[in-house]
Amino acid sequence: MAIAAAETEDARLLDPVRRLAGRLRRKYSGRITGELTIPARDGRYADIPDELVPDLAGALRDRGMTRLYSHQREAWDQVRAGRHTVVVTPTASGKTLCYNLPVLQSALTERSKALYLFPTKALSQDQVAELTELNQAGGLGIRAYTFDGDTPGDARKAVRTKGDIVVSNPDMLHKGVLPHHTKWAQFFESLKYVVIDEMHTYRGVFGSHVANVIRRLRRVCRFYGADPVFILSSATIANPAELAASLVGDEVAAITDSGAPAGEKHLLLWNPPVVNADLGIRASARSQATRIARTAVRGGMKTIVFARSRLMVEVLTKYLKDVFDRDPRRPARVAAYRGGYLPTERRGTEKALRGGDVDCVIATSALELGVDIGALDVCVLNGYPGTIAATWQRLGRAGRRNRPALGVLIASSEPLDQYIVRNPEFFLGASPEHARISPDQLLILLDHVRCAAFELPFRRGERFGGEDLEALLDYLVEQGVLHREGEAWHWMEDSYPANSVSLRAVAEGNFVVIDTTDGARRIIAEVDFSSAAETIYEGAIYLVQASPYQVEHLDWTGRKAYVRETRADYYTDAIDYTRLKILENFESARAADAEVANGEVHLVRRIPGYKKIRYYSHENIGFGNIDLPDQEMHTTAVWWQVEPRALADAVPGRQQAIDGFLGAAYAMHHVAALRIMAEPNDLGRAVGDGDARWFATVGASGRGSLRTLDGGEVDPEAERHFRPAVFLYDNYPGGVGLSEPLFGQRHAVAADARDLVAACGCEHGCPGCVGPILASEDQRGFSPRQAALTVLELFIGDESPRAS
């Protein structure tokens, strides 16, 4: 027995992943701010259901499956009982079988049909490939087809009439299927299952749209006498049943216990070392990621590195290829994987990964979704992915069934990253975020009421969404879009409404960036409407793959930016004036001298000009004017204010107060995004008086100043009532429901921000806490970081403020 134990001990030490984890812990303990070891877990199994069609059971046996994981069986039982079901399981736990089994069973026994929805085309293709494989293994004769923008016109009819399983995406359902549902009559009549994979991607604006597309789908199904059962699958989020229920519009049973076995997992939180203590500058995450990946690959471990941008993928790939792929005659050991590559190229990389032919892959979130690449040993995250859920999903890429895996999360210098690594208990202890949608967001709902009315006339008494449907319909009648006749509302406009509703973007439509270098006209990028004004103004330097392009002409109405390659040694940074007016206060709360409120605001954004900033030295080398229309928006916001007297007592001088509010806003913006599972871009921030008279901005001098929208400066000392507020607003017209949960977390947001700023290693402020400050700011006589801390303490309103 003793010998056996020693052998096990040896095996433990010999395992390369454990050895690497141990070595990193010993050598770089100063950089590791937190760690977690998740013990291995045995599989839990259940029998293959007796009623399974013999052919199907045979197909499973041919693939070596004599039993199911417990969650697969549980899904079978729920779905067969006619209940909508969501399966929440980690990567590579056999989730596809959870929906494929009941779907194939019914297709074989009742010739029923199924619709599979995936968020991307690539995943659809994977799925069809897998179904075809299973189908061939069992000689089942089930036809699965993809139906998306790439499906040729002459094949579409066959898909509609012959497909047992149609694999598509929400956009295609919205634009190509539902408005033509009569062509799909046969399909809808026998539609029994709708599968929605990667459900966690349907959140925020996109999710709110998709929930409405599903409302329309179910409405059309009812017309054909069908009431399909929804089977959803999701990565780990805090509220799978809730999200599934709001997407489907019905109760959904949640299966959250995976029966799949998992190997031991080590997770390290890693903060790069400080290289300039004065400015709080740390070594780059990139340098750390490269080093760890290098060590892992040298040690024979299959490694994946996740980067947050396509550009970073390219940079890391180059660095690692320089080490491992120097000999061009030998097959490549390092590969890159990101959006923008051709599908064939991506399929090739996926295959090489599955086959173990590649030792290291550098990827964007494109690989976070369920693309099958087999299991890997080490996962390095170059920067925090933005949410706890996405982090776990990416980490899940490493880990084979019976072997240990290592994940390393490397923080960048951004505040969110710094917050995460400096507060490891937040990440390690917290449950993943709630994913929220707001399907009744008025504009989104109205868009889909339009589309639904086009598909089938609305009848009196029908329900669609949580708002007063008749009021919405009457509104559309008033617009001349619908015609009310007796008990029904009919479409009457000469248009195809789905074409003007994009599920993924704000209503206004995206801009394309067109390269005109050498007389060519090549589309090289797409820019969201919401960020167009600040990224592709005339004169802007726009970066694609690290190559600089200069915007020569912006066609605002045509949504086009014409650019030309340039060799500029500077980049450009837009100056952003945001003026906010509080329209209505829904609810508010007091904490000592602070008041926090949630309500509706009207905001005007103006981008009056831009700065040219030289690379490396970061000096300001010039200004340019921007002439673009103001952007107006009604939305919801949460704001924090302090009693003027208390503010005057706590902060000496209004200048300090302004800098304090700006710094606090910067830190709060980032931690708030973390708290409510939003991208930082989904939220906007502003500091102003709430009455649209003035707002605060960081001027050319680096100091905060008060301005009017026309750029005129306001003297803070001359203000009679000096009552600045930090606003965090929902960056979508009408709001998508971000401010309500934010208000609920108001205390946590201020407290998290305080912790972030208090724990920062810098002296007076840095991009990791209150935002970039210039070195010369030391001369202003106070520490912007301290000012922000004071303001944050006032927001928290604790009886005993922390000493710092």
- Residues in contact with another protein by the rule CB under 8 A: 179-183, 185, 440, 442-443, 446, 453-457, 466-468, 470-472, 474-475, 477-480, 483-486, 488, 490-498, 584, 586-587, 634, 733-734
CB of 438 to another protein, least distance (A): 11
Is the CB of 493 or the CB of 565 nearer to another protein?
493
Helix 746-758 to helix 654-675 angle (10° resolution) is: 110
At closest approach, how far in Å is the CB of 192 from another protein? 21
Indicate the helix (H) or strand (E) that contains 742: helix 739-744
Give least dist CB 454 to another protein, A.
3
CB of 795 to another protein, least distance (A): 22
Minimum distance of another protein from residue 179's CB (angstroms): 4
**Pick 148 or 470: Cβ nearer another protein:** 470
Q: Are 466 and 230 within 8 A, CB to CB?
A: no
Residues in the chain, overall count: 804
Alpha-carbon distance of 576 to 408, in angstroms, equals: 36
Our CB check for another protein shows the closer of 40 and 477 to be: 477
Minimum Å gap between C-beta 796 and another protein is 24
User: Between 454 and 542, whose beta carbon lies closer to another protein?
Assistant: 454
Shortest reach from residue 444's CB to another protein, in Å: 10
Q: How far is the CB of 686 from another protein (least distance, A)?
A: 20
**Least CB distance from residue 419 to another protein, whole Å?**
30
Rounded least distance, CB 587 to another protein, Å: 5
Supply the angle between the helices 746-758 and 784-796 in degrees, to the nearest 10: 150
Query: What is d(CA 306, CA 366) in angstroms, rounded to the nearest whole number?
Result: 10
The least CB distance from residue 736 to another protein, in Å, is 12
Least Cβ distance, residue 479 to another protein (angstroms): 6
Nearer to another protein, 557 or 776 (CB): 557
DSSP category for residue 279: T
Question: What strand order describes the sheet that includes 458-459?
Answer: 458-459, 488-491, 482-485
State the angle between helix axes of 240-248 and 204-223 in degrees (0 to 180), rounded to the nearest 10.
50
Residue the block writes with tokens 């709430």: 690
Rounded Cα distance, 352 and 336, in Å: 12
Burial 452-490 (b: 16+ CB within 10 A, else e): bbbbbbbeeebebbeeebeebbeebeeeebbebeeebbe
32 vs 492, beta carbon nearer another protein: 492
d(CA 460, CA 487): 5
Task: List Cα–Cα distances, 28 to 15, 22, 23, 57, 684, in angstroms.
Answer: 20, 10, 8, 51, 37
Q: What distance in Å separates the CA atoms of residue 65 and residue 82, rounded to the nearest whole number? A: 25
Least distance (Å) from another protein to the CB of residue 487? 10
Say how far apart CA 316 and CA 286 lie, in whole Å. Answer: 7
Q: Residue 440 or 565: which CB sits closer to another protein?
A: 440
Cα–Cα distance for residue pair 765/761, rounded to 1 Å? 9
Q: In this structure, which amino acid lies at residue 476?
A: L
Q: d(Cα 210, Cα 176) in Å, to the nearest integer?
A: 14
Minimal distance, residue 171 CB to another protein, in Å: 16
Task: State which H helix or E strand residue 238 sits in.
Answer: none
Query: Any residues with CB less than 8 A from the CB of 152 and at least 6 apart, and which?
Result: none
Contact 166, 116 (CB under 8 A): yes
Q: Is 146 helix (H, G, I), strand (E, B) or coil?
A: strand
Q: What's the CA gap between 542 and 562, in Å, rounded?
A: 11
Nearer to another protein, 183 or 521 (CB): 183
The DSSP secondary-structure symbol of 431 reads P
User: Cα 445 vs. chain centroid, distance in angstroms?
Assistant: 22
Task: Name the residue type at position 33.
Answer: T
Which residues have C-beta within 8 Å of that of residue 222, sequence separation ≥ 6? none
Residue whose CB is less far from another protein, 109 or 479: 479
Going from the C-alpha of 533 to that of each of 524, 536, 543, 556, 679, the distances in angstroms are 18, 6, 15, 9, 19
- DSSP string for 629-673: --EEEEEEEEEEEE-HHHHHHHSSSHHHHHHHHHHHHHHHHHHHH
**Which one, 417 or 455, has the nearer CB to another protein?**
455
Distance in Å, CB of 632 to another protein, minimum: 8
Q: For another protein, which is the closer residue by CB, 274 or 477?
A: 477
Q: Which is nearer to another protein, 176 or 263 (CB)?
A: 176
Q: Which among 385, 272, 266 has a CA at the least distance from the CA of 28?
A: 272
Residue with tokens 């050598």: 27
DSSP H or E stretch at residue 544: strand 541-544
Q: Which is nearer to another protein, 71 or 606 (CB)?
A: 606
Q: Which is nearer to another protein, 57 or 603 (CB)?
A: 603
- Residue 203 or 216: the one with the smaller Cβ distance to another protein is 216
Minimum distance from CB of 180 to another protein (Å)? 6
Closer to another protein at the Cβ: 432 or 733?
733
